[in-house]
Amino acid sequence: MLKKITESTAMRPLGNPFGQKLLEVVSGEYSRRLVALIQTSASELKLTFADPPYVSWSNLQMIVSDAYNGNFDCVMEPDGNIHLAYSETSTNYLVTRKLTFSGGSWSVGSKVTAFNGSQCFDPSIAIEPSGTLWLSFAKFSTPTRSIQIKSSTDSGATWGSGAGDPGTELVGISMSAYAKTLIGPNDIYVVYTEGGQLIAMRSRPISGGSWTSAYTIATGSSFTNNFDAAINSDGVLAVVYDNLGVYYREYDGSNWGTIVNINETPANSPQVFFRQNVPVVTYLSSFQGMQMVMKYSVRKTGTFTEPTALDSRAKPFDSVILYDVSSGTYEDLTTEAESGVTADVYHSDSGALIKDTGDCAYLGMDAPFRYVHFFLSTAGSGGTVNYSYWDGTGWKALTPASGVSHLDAADVPVLLWDDYLGVPEDWQKYQVNSVNRFWIKIEVVSSYTTGPVGTQISAVSEISRIIFRR
C-alpha cells in the first residue's frame, strides 16, 4: 500500500498465494531493481519495475494478451531474465515465455507450448543453479485433476520431449490439487494439496533419480491453494498452510518437525520466507466481513511470536472519540469500535455516532493511515458531514479519494488516499481530549434526521491477497 501501481479486473491479479510475482535483480548495474508481474484484466499480463526506494514505478508494459483468467507464475535467473508460465486462454494449454533482460528492460520472447494434451492450470516454476527449469501444473479433465511435472534444459525452448509429453505424474486423479515446486541445495521438492484432505511432499535428487513416495505433512478437511513453502540456506524446507487455522511444519532433510499452530482461525494467503535463516510467517486474518488484517509471526528463538499486525496503519484504531456538541462532552468508544458488537458505537447523550451540527467523530492512530471502514447498525439520514485532518495550525478539509460519504449506508468503506505516498506530508499529531494521535475528524455540517449508530469502525482494508518477494 506504499504505492498504488494499477487497478485490475482480473479474477486473480496475483495468482496463487504460493506463486512468485515480485522479483529482484540480484547483481549488475540494476541490482536491487524490483519487477512486478500483474494480471490486469481477464487476458492481459503486464510488467512494471522500480529502483530503491521503490516509490516510482515504470509504466505498465504489456507482456501477454492471451492469458487465462486464473493463475500464473514466474521465476528469475541470476542475470535478470524471467521465465513466465501461464494457461493460454483459447486452449487452456500450458505455455511459457522467456523475458530477456538487457539494458535495464525486459523483452518478451516467443510463446512455447509446454503441454498441449489437456486443459492445464495453476503452474509453478522453479530454476536450478545450473539453469534447468522445473514446471509443475494441474492437468484437468472434467471434473478431476492430476499434478504433473516437466523440466527444460534449454532455457524454456522445449519442455521434456515436447509439447505432447505430459511429464511425470506426481499426484493422481483428485477433485482438487495444487502444487508448488522448489529447488533445494540437493533436491527438487513439490509440495501439494490433494482432494482437500491433505498436504504432502515428494522430492528427487537434483543429480537425477526417482521421485520419492509421497510424505503426508498433515491431514484435514479444508486444504486448498492456501499454502506456501520455502527453503533456507541450510536446506531446511518450511511449509505453512491454512486448514481452518494457520499451521507450520519443517523438514531438515532427514526428519519432519512437529506441527505448530500459529493462528487458530481460518486465514488467507499464508506465506513463509526466511530472513537470515529465521522463518517468518505472514497471512491475512479475517476481521469483519471482507476485511483482512495482515499479520506476521517470527521464530527467532524456539517458539513463534504472538501474531502481530504487519501494517500498523491498517488495523483497529488506536482511538475512537465521539464529541457531542449539545453537552460539550467527549466519550472514548475505542473498545466498542473494535469489538463488532451490534449498535454499541454511539455517544450516550445523542444516542448516535454523530447527529447534530458540530458533533464530531475523531478517528486516531499513532501513524498516518489511509482507510476507514464503517459498519453501521443504523444508517444516517438527512445529514451531511465533512472530513479534515490537523495540519499543525488547524483542521484542513479533505475530500476522500473514494468521495465523501455521509454515513448513510450500513456498510461504508472510505478510501482517504489511494496509497501511503498520497498521505499529506503536513498531517501532524494533535491532542483530542488529551489523547495525542494522527486524527481524522468527521464533523456534522447539517444535522441528521436519524443519526448513524455504529457497530464497528476500523482502518482495516479489504485486501484479498498478498504476495511477498521471497
Tell me the HSE value of 159 on the side-chain side, using a 13 A CA sphere.
Answer: 29
Mean pLDDT of 170-187: 96
Whether the CB-CB separation of 59 and 47 falls below 8 Å is answered with: no
CA-based R_g, the chain, Å:
25
What pLDDT sits at residue 1? 62
The whole-angstrom separation of Cα 346 and Cα 455 is 9
Q: Which three cell numbers stand for residue 80?
A: 535478470
**Using 50, 70 and 90 to split pLDDT, how confident is the model at 462?**
confident
Residue written as cell 509440495?
191
Q: Domain locations in the chain?
A: 22-275, 319-458
> And the C-alpha cell for 298?
517470527
- CA dist., res. 367 & res. 311, Å (int): 10
**Range 65-99 burial, b when 16+ CB lie within 10 A, else e:** eebbebbbbbbbbeebbbbbbbbbbeebbbbbbbb
As a CATH number, domain 319-458 is 2.60.120
Q: Which run of H or E residues covers position 335?
A: helix 334-339
Q: Quote the pLDDT of residue 2.
A: 82
Q: Strand pairing partners for 180? A: 191
- Please calculate the CA angle 395-348-450 and round it to the nearest 5 degrees: 75
Q: pTM here?
A: 0.92
Cα 287–290–296 angle (5° rounding)? 45
Instruction: Specify the CATH class of 22-275 in words.
Output: mainly beta
Task: Report the alpha-carbon distance of residue 430 to residue 439 in Å, rounded.
Answer: 7
Under 8 Å between Cβ of 223 and 197 = yes
H or E segment and range at residue 442: strand 435-446
Taking a C-beta distance cutoff of 8 angstroms, is the pair 148, 166 a contact?
yes
**Strand, helix or coil for residue 338:** helix
Q: How far apart are CA 307 and CA 290, in angstroms?
A: 20
What average pLDDT does this structure show over 16-21? 95
The whole-number pLDDT of residue 163 equals: 97
Q: What angle (nearest 5°) sits at the alpha carbon of residue 6, between those of residues 86 and 410?
A: 110
Give the residue from 460, 459, 422, 465 showing the smallest Cα distance to 2: 422
Backbone angles phi, psi at 420, to 5 degrees: -70, -25
225 CB-side CA count, 13 A: 19
Q: How many angstroms separate the first and last alpha carbons of the chain? A: 18
d(CA 212, CA 201): 9
How far apart CA 368 and CA 380 sit, in angstroms, is 27
In which residue are the cell numbers 535428487 written? Answer: 205
- Residue-wise pLDDT for 211-243, tens only, equals 999 999 999 999 999 999 999 999 999 999 999
Calculate mean pLDDT across residues 409-414: 96
User: Residue 295 pLDDT more than 80?
Assistant: yes
Write the CA distances from 149 to 60, 123, 238, 358, 403, integer angstroms: 31, 9, 21, 66, 49
pLDDT at residue 75 in the model = 98
Q: Across all residues in the chain, what is the average pLDDT?
A: 96
| Alpha-carbon gap, residue 69 to 260, rounded angstroms | 35
Strand order in the sheet with 168-174: 119-127, 133-141, 144-152, 168-174
Per the CB < 8 A criterion, the answer to whether 93 and 113 are in contact is yes
Q: What distance in Å separates the CA atoms of residue 392 and residue 64, rounded to the nearest whole number?
A: 48
414-429 residue pLDDT tens: 999 999 999 999 999 9
Tell me the pLDDT tens digit for each residue of 332-383: 999 999 998 999 999 999 999 999 999 999 999 999 999 999 999 999 999 9
Q: Which DSSP symbol is given to 470? A: -
Share of the chain above pLDDT 70, in %: 100
Q: Is the pLDDT of residue 287 over 90?
A: no
Q: What percent of the chain has pLDDT over 90?
A: 94
User: Any residues with CB less than 8 A from the CB of 269 and at least 6 apart, and which?
Assistant: 17, 226, 282, 283, 284, 465, 466, 467
Q: Three-state DSSP class for 234?
A: coil
Size (the chain), residues: 470
